[in-house]
Amino acid sequence: MIGYGDAAAVAGLAAGPVVAPPVALVATPDGQGYWVATAAGEVLASGDAKVVGSLAGVALKAPIVGMAATPDGGGYWLVAMDGGVFAFGDARFFGSTGGLRLNQPIVGMARSADGAGYWIVAADGGVFSFGDAPFLGSTGALALARPIAGLTPTPDGLGYWLVASDGGVFTFGDAVFHGSAADQPINTWVVGLASTPDGGGYWLAAATGGVLAFGDATLYGPTPNLPPFSPVGAIAVTPDGGGYWLLYPEEVAVTFANPSSGVPASAIVALAASRIGPDPDTARGKYCNPYGPCEDWCALFATWVWEGAGVAIPRYPFTGSTYRWGAARGLTLGAGVVAAPGDFVLYGTGPLNAGTSVHMGIVAQVWPDGAIVTIEGDSGPEPDGQYAVTVNGPYLPAFSAEANAMPVYAFVRP
């Protein structure tokens, strides 16, 4: 966690390894602390934030993707990818979409001004309102260039902004448009939006750890083209708007244990997880890496992991070769199957060449609804030629084209 402006460093987040990666960050009302929620519904608290309940150890159907706190900080809600809502402390349950068939998965939530309601938002921009949170419109019927990444209400709760992963901003109710990053060369994607206290501006948080400021929002931290290049998952603003925190999920130790049964991760997942972080060999040259020659290395990393875990597989430099290796042994599976921890996940449209088989990773975690978390080598948002081993997800493979800008075309099982 890094604070910018008057977002002070606060102690207390340190905890034992969690089951799933952090996905949400919410500040306390006085700005002296914050909560972090993981995909498994574990809640970590820092500063004056208090844990008043969590889903740790609960078998969830779908991973948690968002969080919101009550106005007095005495409670909070968690929302899952299927729209299930869970209330703790003085947070009241007002309804959910957990029993509905959604067109696209839920990506986040926000509360109404008085805490007597909340909105949840899907990747297609569909907005669902509960309690006294008014429905003011959505992008659910629009053809979006990129999926929606989050929703932020105006201070009076009579409007809200939606932000897409390309930085496009959509306004509803009394929310005013102050600009967007949709036409800016930010060379990354946007993961969230936060409003200034008066609603006269907002910040967009980029996956690289950079921030863009619009309207009366002041930039306190790095820009998207000169950030720390460590994947960011969320942004939370201090009450006076004088600063913000950025959530860096890879700073939290994750076991990647099965989120439903508690079964420990396989040797493949454990080895892959031990390598999460920046590529240590870039000083030797562009794309140099510990797993093979100085070239694109997502396949080199994945096959290195399998080899290290005892699978007799060559160190392939091309992702399509892993598909063919598996197909020759009856181990290659279609994109529609339910994945298993340790599987290769292959992105693109097929194994023909580097233009059709574009990237790969290792499945680290699988949820009952089919959502997966992956560990991927030669992955962003680091600069070109300085990529890292990163965590991706949770996401539904069927929506990988929306979530990752590339579809899943196959899995290969060890």
Which of 247-256, 258-267, 321-330 is the least confident region? 258-267
Residue range 268-313, pLDDT digits in tens? 999 999 999 988 888 888 899 999 999 999 999 999 999 999 999 9
243 and 280 in a single domain? The answer is no
Q: What is the CA radius of gyration of the chain?
A: 21
Q: How far apart are CA 248 and CA 50, in angstroms?
A: 21
Per-residue pLDDT for 9 more than 80?
A: no
Q: What is the mean pLDDT of residues 74-88?
A: 97
The structural domain count of the chain equals 2
Per-residue pLDDT for 224 more than 80?
A: no
Tokens of 200: 């006269």
Q: How far apart are CA 253 and CA 257, in angstroms?
A: 12
25 and 117 in a single domain? The answer is yes
238 and 296 in a single domain? The answer is no
Residue range 143-178, pLDDT digits in tens? 888 999 999 999 999 999 999 999 999 999 999 999
Q: What is the mean pLDDT of residues 352-378?
A: 96
Q: Check if the beta carbon of residue 61 is closer than 8 Å to that of residue 368.
A: yes
Full-model pTM:
0.93
192 and 43 in a single domain? The answer is yes
The boundaries of the domain holding residue 134 are 2-251
CB-based burial label for 273 (10 Å; 0-12, 13-18, 19+) = buried
**What CATH number does the domain containing 205 carry?**
2.130.10.10
Residue range 191-215, pLDDT digits in tens? 999 999 999 999 999 998 889 999 9
101 and 237 in a single domain? The answer is yes
**What CATH number does the domain containing 279 carry?**
3.90.1720
188 and 304 in a single domain? The answer is no
128 and 274 in a single domain? The answer is no
